[in-house]
Amino acid sequence: MIPFKTIIASAVSIVLLTACASQATQQPESTLKEAFGEKFLIGAAVSQRQINGHDSAALALVAKHFNSIVAENCMKSAIIHPEEDRYNFAPGDSLVAFGEQHGMAVIGHCLIWHSQLSHWFCKDKEGRPVTPEVLKQRMKEHITTVVSHYKGRIKGWDVVNEAILEDGSYRNTPFYEILGEEFIPLAFQYAHEADPDVELYYNDYGMNVAGRRDGVVKLVKQLQERGLRIDAVGMQGHMGMDYPELQEFEESIQAFSSTGVKVMITEWDMSALPTVSFTANVSDTVGFRKAMNPYPEALPDSVSQVWNGRMKDFFRLFLKHADVITRVTAWGVTDADSWKNDFPMRGRKEYPLFFDRDYQMKPFLKELMNE
Ligand code: GLA
């Protein structure tokens, strides 16, 4: 016969074990926003495909891990304002609704950019550049309508994207050709008039480069001297295995924040593939394609380790400067989403984001969350 005490002891341990097990399953898994949300907003660019429910697993990751989103494409002028007298707000509206449903900070991207620009924006009916007066009017109408449409629902706008070159001079875009440097202050002025409460950002890539850094600092100071609102500089953060250097990137964070504005890492991704020179011997097509797409099946562990190490170093840098960095946004959710796939060659397989193609979090983030 089993002694009564043994029965009681076994029953107690079964109850305890069950309690522990259910506690373990009930314990919420740690999320990126729980781990880093007190330092800065942690965001992701979301595509229309995802918002429309065609990748529900990715959308679930966004809801779980991120407290900020930005539209990958649907708020760019070519999509949101395809004809002069027609706006297409439906895609942006569903993205904003998703963000609101999950209590996220929704970022608007982007008001004035020379790329993915509506075909009509800077041209007349004959295809010639419009006059400065017409372009000002069009910019004002576009910015006022879009910003007003989302008034009170968007935390901040990338007002101007990619206007400064590596040597600090202005990029020769249709906006610059027609209006000169003035198109930037005008864009900030129109955006502020449309929504005085919304934050306004200048956003660009390759921001580690000293010439562009100086050019952007100069631009921010000019806007400030004219009393125009600018809240932050967005450093896109499209990186590779051999660029940028951490120290240069840090110098830019310091330079931008020294003007009094905040800094945001707005489009972070890191190519895991070797940087291939376009001047490579393209007559060897097979060799060139192989060099361009070295890991068509999976990323080798040795490369993954280097990639994770570099991502971790940059993330640590962002944490170190969390007093001035207010948002870190990845340009996509899983590796499968990235614009870097298929670019500049079809079939090129990239591994640049926070989650892999199986929706698993990359090791560097898990490690940082456990530190
Ligand atoms: C730029 C733009 C983004 C996106 C990326 C990659 O960085 O700001 O909107 O288009 O290029 O394509």
| Residue at 6 is within a domain | no
| Residue at 348 is within a domain | no
**Which helix (H) or strand (E) segment is 71 a member of?**
strand 68-71
Band of pLDDT at residue 5, cut at 50, 70 and 90: very low
| Residue at 363 is within a domain | no
Ligand 1, atom nearest to 158 Cα: 8
Please give the single-letter amino acid code of residue 266.
T
pLDDT at 18: 43
Ligand 1, atom nearest to 76 Cα: 9
Q: Other CB atoms closer than 10 Å to residue 321's CB: what's the count?
A: 17
Tokens describing residue 112:
């004035």
**Which helix (H) or strand (E) segment is 283 a member of?**
none
**Which helix (H) or strand (E) segment is 333 a member of?**
none
For ligand 1, atom 12, which residue shows the shortest CA distance?
A: 339
pLDDT at 285: 80
Distance from the alpha carbon of residue 278 to the mean position of ligand 1, in angstroms? 20
| Residue at 177 is within a domain | yes
For ligand 1, atom 3, which residue shows the shortest CA distance?
A: 72
Over range 143-171, report the average pLDDT. 98
Over range 107-133, report the average pLDDT. 98
Band of pLDDT at residue 279, cut at 50, 70 and 90: low
Distance from the alpha carbon of residue 162 to the mean position of ligand 1, in angstroms? 9
Q: From CA 281, how far away is CA 27, in angstroms rounded?
A: 55
| Residue at 244 is within a domain | yes
pLDDT at 245: 98
Tokens describing residue 231:
């809240």
Ligand 1, atom nearest to 267 Cα: 7
| Residue at 350 is within a domain | no
Distance from the alpha carbon of residue 18 to the mean position of ligand 1, in angstroms? 50
| Residue at 126 is within a domain | yes
Please give the single-letter amino acid code of residue 176.
Y
| Residue at 343 is within a domain | no
219-243: pLDDT as tens digits: 999 999 999 999 999 999 999 999 9
Tokens describing residue 15:
């109850």
pLDDT at 344: 86
**Are the CB atoms for 186 and 133 separated by under 8 Å?**
no
202 vs 277, higher pLDDT = 202
72-90: pLDDT as tens digits: 999 999 999 999 999 999 9
Which residues, judged by CB distance below 6 Å to any ligand atom, belong to the binding site of ligand 1? 109, 161, 205, 236, 267, 339
pLDDT at 202: 99
For ligand 1, atom 8, which residue shows the shortest CA distance?
A: 161
Q: From CA 281, how far away is CA 106, in angstroms rounded?
A: 45
Distance from the alpha carbon of residue 367 to the mean position of ligand 1, in angstroms? 29
**Which helix (H) or strand (E) segment is 158 a member of?**
strand 156-161
- Catalytically active residues, by annotation: 162, 267
* Spatial CA neighbour of 185 closest among 215, 162, 213, 219: 219
For ligand 1, atom 4, which residue shows the shortest CA distance?
A: 72
Distance from the alpha carbon of residue 339 to the mean position of ligand 1, in angstroms? 8
pLDDT at 289: 84
Distance from the alpha carbon of residue 201 to the mean position of ligand 1, in angstroms? 15
Tokens describing residue 255:
């330079």
Ligand 1, atom nearest to 109 Cα: 9
CA 55 to the chain's CA centroid: 19
Q: From CA 69, how far away is CA 105, in angstroms rounded?
A: 7
Ligand 1 pocket: which of 236, 270, 340 to mutate (most atoms <8 Å of CB)? 236
203-220: pLDDT as tens digits: 999 999 999 999 999 999
Over range 104-117, report the average pLDDT. 98
In the predicted model, what is the mean pLDDT of the chain?
Answer: 92
Whether 60 has a pLDDT exceeding 70, the answer reads yes
Over range 112-119, report the average pLDDT. 98
CATH of the domain at 179: 3.20.20.80
Counting residues of the chain whose pLDDT is more than 90, the rounded percentage is 86
Ligand 1, atom nearest to 238 Cα: 7
- The pTM is what? 0.92
299-325: pLDDT as tens digits: 999 999 999 999 999 999 999 999 999
* Spatial CA neighbour of 41 closest among 113, 92, 102: 102
**What are the distances in angstroms from CA 69 to CA 62, 100, 219, 266?**
8, 10, 27, 10
Q: Please count the structural domains in the chain.
A: 1
**Are the CB atoms for 69 and 43 separated by under 8 Å?**
yes
Please give the single-letter amino acid code of residue 17.
L
Tokens describing residue 52:
């429309």
330-346: pLDDT as tens digits: 999 999 999 999 988 89
Residues of the domain holding 253: 30-271+321-336
Whether 98 has a pLDDT exceeding 70, the answer reads yes
pLDDT at 274: 87
Q: H helices within the chain, ranges in order? A: 4-26, 32-36, 48-51, 56-65, 77-80, 90-101, 132-149, 174-179, 183-194, 210-225, 246-257, 285-292, 301-320, 363-370
**Are the CB atoms for 158 and 109 separated by under 8 Å?**
yes
